[in-house]
Structure 1
């Protein structure tokens, strides 16, 4: 290209000189001083332009002639072909006559320049581009090698009909410029004409393009960061608590306690929560009960929070207000918990100290580096981006050196130390498929491509460009990439299909269930022992009483049992052990559910005693006696234990008193 420019410049000067000579013959041409700010022009300028249009001569670039508009005309261009015998003319293009070829153009598949030609291929061992076979010592020549580039060479050889011989580069590097302008590696061998092609993962860069030629890229990629996997804690038995932080769980507990206390206080203050449980005795009974005892006040928010409800229904406006805001609170809490639970149980989050190249550049605890003598090292060395310049200064000044001689050495350093390796994304993907302890951090730092290197001015460049385009159109390169990249033992990162949860994910809720059941059984035993200890006249031991009770449970006996106690040859009915509050001395009047009097104002003692006797008859199976359905809600019937003061001296031993029940809405 420089020779053509020199020839055109020579012809241009020669043409101007010829025009000035013709102008000088007709008039005296002299130099005149002109100013760029003035509109005055050279007096001989128009005449010189006319003489330039009339020039006709033969120059280095052929016949020189101009038309009336000052454009070159009546000239021809020769079409040359570079062959083993040198340049030879195969056609001509004339500005007036057009194109005329002396012979047909060579076809793509069988060319005069590549047909049956043996090319020297320089390459470097790099997985999965060029690798030695397992039994390479038993083989010879090209059969010792395998990989993506080896298969691509076979495809190109089938299309262009050439032979090749693979030779490994002597110094084992891709190629970087030296201090004296020389190049190392495969680039240096192409410059020295020791090889015809460089087929490997050779990156196309502007600096390399100045000294060698590249084909069209056969693969696109970018620089990426490789780091070892840092897994967070594995899902534990109590991972179902992860959707909320410990602080949120603490505030939820405080909110529960606050709502329970406020509910108890409000229910006791409002008069609308105190009501008569016996509508049939209205006007004759002064009994008023409140369903919000301290235990019920703590139980009601639990039922709402667990979305199971409760048989306790608020009656007053104030208690309904407390219940409404608590239900709204639980609605949001439960919805938020459910939305986050799936993610926390199924996704094992990564605990990575760096998430991007900026994080890597802003710290010094994690070392990072590249392959020495590669394009990635050159990229950081020549970059003008502030972050990449800071990274290059860190890598260049770090001792011991953070640069490695091969990708395998870089990967081993990543796995065995706190080190991040910068390499091409295709190699990163290949090694991550085969080692599950490796991961990619962030995206790509740049975009570039791999190409086939050739000596500068190579006659094979266009033919290899067309052959690579043909392989891409037929998807042959994509098939080769899948062949050598897929097949790793690690699952793909984009595979997000749902997987079944194991016991390590939700085993904690089973632990909570078992613990709750054990606590319930333990509390039931304590209650049984406590009430038995405070019941007078008990002759059996605690173990015997418990065995008898378990026997009744196994035999499915009725829970309401009237047991006989022998004392001095007589038998009296003994109920199930009474609570402590039922064994207190009662004032005059009939004792009902909560120990308050149902007599005095409107109910006479004979009437209350009659109701108790009727209830006792019903409990014994007399179906012809009926009692008020509202009053029948009080279920347990017991007699007065010996030594307990009677409500009235007229009561017989067979009279019963109402069992204490706070839940007035049990089944009738």
Structure 2
């Protein structure tokens, strides 16, 4: 057992390094590790008094060799290992580290699966491929490309990276349509076979997730197959993009890489990097220029420093360096397993914890680890290969900003702001598209569309339903002189106009579907598109949820909700009480009360001054009634003489004028609408009957009504507009139908034959539209949708509709879908009644007050000394007697007799 005292720091601390000595990256990594060990041992703030020793072993690129080298390092009691370099070796060595509690800090293994908890002692200062593929997916999403092909090696590193890219693209609405797995040692013939197959497809976005040698071979063969021309986009991941500055990049290789997009780790220009580069260039061992250093050398340098800082914290925490003798495990042959001889580092868990807690600013940027040992806060840059060197054209980092033209500031991807926010990233990427200054393959500056037509080298086959009727929608003309067939109609015009807005040519041929006698079933037509019998369907195809499950639709170019068309009634109802219908019962009662109230007010105001309102009570009652009701016709013969009576009558006549006018207009409207009212009020009332229902052959209306439990025996299909009109005109009694249920454009064509004969009953009871159908995932769908929206905004879509539906011009009144008559109620007139009532009450009150004042003057002339407390009561009683005697004398006057009446005990007045 090898122990260290707890009171004093050891004189040395041994660590190991595992990488491929003979690889281009390995040569640079070796020098970077040596430089890092030298810098650590000369630093005053790290491992002061303890010398860091390094054991280097060659792992090659072989997992078995790497595992053997790792075993040798562990046997030498290293406290930690820098490496491995490759993901394939790391899969083996990570298990050894877990078994012996020796932490591994890798500078090159980027396999996303190494982040799993089964590798607790695997830590890395290089970003995981999960983050790199997020950057690649961000670049693809920035240009709106929906499909991509990825080349990868047929190993864990390649397959896991391709899967990460697929997941990242899927989250952004795109997808990997082909994963080309390449076996190790693949030759030109094998690559040619794959490229020829891919050239026949429409996708033009390719991602190379391969080692540099394989990637260059792919690009070389693609060049000879004319796949490095315009309309193509080639993206390479970090392994190859970091090799674009190698001295091995000869003239031929430069020719194959023009327009290439590389994704690689962004290394900020910090003071730490400047110091490192100065030492690197001054080192007699390097012999390389500054711009030839590979970023993996920086990662290896930072890996050594991460271990050194963690060891410093570990040793100052008074932790002992103890290796426990292993438990010997026998093999099945009776001997001892070689791996069971490995010693276990007892302080490995503590050292691992110190490494995960390490935070510092390294040469490659900020170094901080998450709880799985992955690097946090990584940033990537997009480089464009132009000439002999790549140029940075854009950036992406893990804080949700998305693609940017400016590099991240030092704090933008630091430990405090490095939380990856996928939702924020998606919103920013989808909301804005960043135009980067890129020279694409073919030396063009316009970004490729990501796909081309024709697909598979042939013209698009556009399926068109050969309709038996409704030729304004889709029609066919035959030219006997040229023996040719042309397709026309509203849908065809919209499709052809939309193609003019596309920035590329779309060669196509119309293929008629149907025999021209019976309209084909549209569900079958859509199913044939899903089975790839056609490349698109153009026609009056409704966008339905069931159809969207198997095909894609463009933006609707016309609304097409279902409605019910019915014949109108040909005569009025014989209702003897129809004249009461303009007003509601409450309105009628209010009008009657108003008549009686106003008549009473007129009598009160006119009784004293107008002889026509005097006489026996029965005669006065009849006079008031005849007077007030004769105001309906403005023919009252009695005249009003009092000032207030004339005011009340004037207001009342205004009320009568409004009521008369409203009544006349309402009655006329009711009788007119009633004449046009259909016998069926809408879909609900139609379903409650047993009448037959018509629909267009091939329409989804049949399935819709069957889902509403309509008996199939009630449903009758018609091919043409003429057949539908005849069936609707004949009605159920003569073998026709009671109503036609169909989409609004068809109904408008039917109704246009005779606006006054047919009417839409009720409202639309579905909301949908017509669109052009394409196979699932077709890139042309979104482009056509944008073209339709542009046509709608410019008014071209409406102009096309007007041209093909000119005969739809019809009197709007006869096309009113509502057939209900609105009765007039009290809410329409309460203001008038309020004005009349208030004015009447005010006039009566003023009249009574004047009468009462005259009476008081008589009392004051007699000098009455009655006490104030009793005066009001006496005045009221005497006022009643006075009013009664006044009425009695008025009767005598009416009979031609005069009389002296004693109005009060002390006063006699001649009346």
TM-score normalised by L of structure 2 = 0.37
Q: Which has the higher contact order (CA 8 A, sep 6+)?
A: 1
Higher helix residue share: 2
TM-score normalised by L of structure 1 = 0.49
Q: Which entry has the higher C-alpha Rg, 1 or 2?
A: 1
